């Protein structure tokens, strides 16, 4: 004779319910990342005001100096984009649905985000950020030691290889799940 469950759909026993609710312990972490995002916004505006001030007062900024400052601004924006992906994608994936369907500002990528997609997006964002840092180093190469140039290049290549490995692993996992 089959055992008949008296639980309602979606109802959990006490221990599974507590385990499932523990995901909310991540909420303060995401709120902290939002504060960090605010700090990056502050940093961006400080750098932008510094650049405007340099252009206004000195008017003798070299192209290399200008490029380094602008690359610093781009770096802050890319890190901020990384934070948005972690905050929004992580919350949606690991904590709770944001219910943004039909919202005109919903990011395109959010509709198909999962832990695997999030890992690939984060890895490629880190490669982009590392690229900006490496470009800044190469532009400033005359004042940078050879070991520093070499190690930054090696570290960047490690990020690239890691991102490719993560993307390839996710591709294999997706092909396995589809069959």
Asked if 26 and 86 count as a contact pair (C-beta separation under 8 A), the reply is: no
Q: What mean pLDDT is predicted for residues 66-81?
A: 91
Domain hosting 31: range is 14-178
Does 5 fall in a domain? Answer: no
Find how far residue 34's CA is from the centre of its chain: 12
Does 2 fall in a domain? Answer: no
Distance CA 150, CA 156 (A): 10
Does 9 fall in a domain? Answer: no
Q: What is the pLDDT of residue 41?
A: 96
**Overall pTM surpassing 0.95 (yes/no):** no
Does 4 fall in a domain? Answer: no
Q: How many domains does the chain have?
A: 1
Name the residue with higher pLDDT: 160 or 90. Answer: 160
Does 72 fall in a domain? Answer: yes
Q: What is the pLDDT of residue 3?
A: 62
Does 138 fall in a domain? Answer: yes
Does 6 fall in a domain? Answer: no
Distance CA 73, CA 21 (A): 39
Does 163 fall in a domain? Answer: yes
DSSP string, 47-107: HHHHHHHHHHHT----HHHHHHHHHHHHHHHHHHHHHHIIIIIHIIIII-----TT-TT--
Of the candidates 52, 55, 44, 45, the residue with the CA atom closest to the CA atom of residue 79? 44
Q: What is the pLDDT of residue 10?
A: 61
């Amino acid at each position: 004779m089959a055992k008949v469950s008296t639980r309602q759909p979606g109802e959990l026993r006490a221990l599974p319910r507590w385990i499932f609710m523990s995901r909310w312990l991540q909420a303060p972490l995401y709120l902290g990342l939002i504060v960090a995002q605010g700090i990056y916004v502050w940093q961006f505006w400080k750098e932008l005001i510094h650049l405007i001030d340099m252009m206004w007062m000195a008017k003798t900024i070299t192209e290399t100096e200008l490029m380094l400052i602008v690359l610093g601004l781009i770096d802050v924006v890319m890190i901020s984009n990384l934070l948005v992906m972690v905050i929004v994608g992580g919350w949606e994936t690991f904590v709770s649905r944001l219910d943004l369907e039909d919202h005109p500002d919903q990011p395109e990528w959010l509709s198909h985000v999962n832990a695997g997609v999030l890992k690939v997006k984060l890895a490629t964002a880190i490669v982009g950020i590392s690229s900006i840092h490496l470009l800044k180093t190469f532009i400033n190469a005359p004042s940078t030691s050879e070991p520093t140039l070499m190690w930054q290049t090696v570290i960047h290549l490690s990020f690239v290889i890691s991102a490719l490995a993560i993307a390839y692993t996710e591709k294999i996992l997706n092909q396995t799940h589809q069959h």
